[in-house]
Amino acid sequence: MIRLLRARLHQGHRTFAYPDGPPPPLPDRFRGRPLLAPERCRDGCRDCVEVCPTEAISLSPAIAIDLGRCLFCAECAAACPEGAITWGGDHRLAVRRREELQVSAERELALATALDERLRRLFGRSLKLRQVSAGGCNACEADVNVLSTLAWDIGRFGIRIVASPRHADGLIVTGPVSENMRLALRKTYDAVAPPKIVIAIGACAIAGGPYLGHPEVAGGAGAVVPVDLWVPGCPPHPLTMLDGMLRLLGRLESAGESR
């Protein structure tokens, strides 16, 4: 026991200081918000559009990316001969409305705003979420689990993952919502007492991901239940998820972070 206590004292404080301090460092390979330079596009060139596996890129009237469909694979950047698409390191990607995930050089990403005052009073200090894997590959599910580890510890914000929708204030949905999970997701949503919120995490839960347009998937959580927060990525980094949740609860502004 004494050895354990000594080891713990030697290790010090492990939980990230964020948002009261800087966010944890991200690896060089991390792909955050894309950076678009439409002035570099060549007339008639469609290399980025043709290589995109989820048809997330449009060129009219100027190059734009639907982050809800995007897999962050960076095939578009590799295919572009002029470097019109590059990938930045900004982890802040979560939004409140689906259409706000359509980004271009002229349209900044409208980061998620807080719930109304009544819901913030209800959920701001204690938010219980039931996670529903609606046909996902387990990547988004794994990164949701990361948020409950020692370094992230979302419990310090009053956010907890619970086992039953009867004990929850809302849902986290991952996966494209397969036909076999459509009814299960709806029943889980109905089992949560109102008022309630839904968070769609990952490209599959937003638009179907690589299964976009497949007849055996609903094409995302929004086709089955109303969604209050959209967190893009494949999978989203835990920091992107946490950033979106804290914005939803109005916790980042109180920590002095400006958008």
Q: Return contacts of 84-87, CB within 8 angstroms, 24+ apart.
A: 84/36, 84/37, 84/38, 84/40, 84/41, 84/48, 85/34, 85/35, 85/36, 85/37, 85/48, 86/34, 86/35, 86/37, 87/31, 87/32, 87/34, 87/35
Does the pLDDT value for residue 203 go beyond 90?
A: yes
DSSP state of 98: G
Helix, strand or coil, per DSSP, at residue 160: strand
- Asked if the structure places residue 87 within a domain, the reply is no
Does the pLDDT value for residue 37 go beyond 50?
A: yes
Average pLDDT of the residues of the chain: 93
The CA distance from 6 to 15, in Å, is: 18
Q: Place 5 in a pLDDT band, splitting at 50, 70 and 90.
A: confident
Q: What is the model's pLDDT at position 12?
A: 63
Q: Is the pTM of this model over 0.85?
A: yes
Which of 206, 245, 191, 252 is closest to 71 using CA atoms?
A: 206
- Asked if the structure places residue 151 within a domain, the reply is yes
Q: What is the model's pLDDT at position 240?
A: 98
- Which range of residues forms the domain containing residue 247? 117-254
- Asked if the structure places residue 167 within a domain, the reply is yes
Q: What is the model's pLDDT at position 202?
A: 98
Q: Place 107 in a pLDDT band, splitting at 50, 70 and 90.
A: confident
Least confident of 40-44, 100-104, 115-119: 40-44
- Asked if the structure places residue 101 within a domain, the reply is no
Which of 120, 132, 126 is closest to 159 using CA atoms?
A: 126
Q: What is the model's pLDDT at position 258?
A: 38
For residue 138, give the CATH number of its domain.
3.40.50.12280
- Asked if the structure places residue 81 within a domain, the reply is no
- Asked if the structure places residue 190 within a domain, the reply is yes
- Asked if the structure places residue 136 within a domain, the reply is yes
Q: What is the model's pLDDT at position 249?
A: 96
Whether omega before 61 lies within 30 degrees of 0, making that bond cis, reads yes
**Mean pLDDT of the region 98-116:** 93
Which of 207, 200, 173 is closest to 56 using CA atoms?
A: 207
Entry field: residues in the chain: 259
**Mean pLDDT of the region 33-51:** 94
- Asked if the structure places residue 121 within a domain, the reply is yes
* Number of domains, the chain: 1
Q: What is the model's pLDDT at position 254?
A: 42
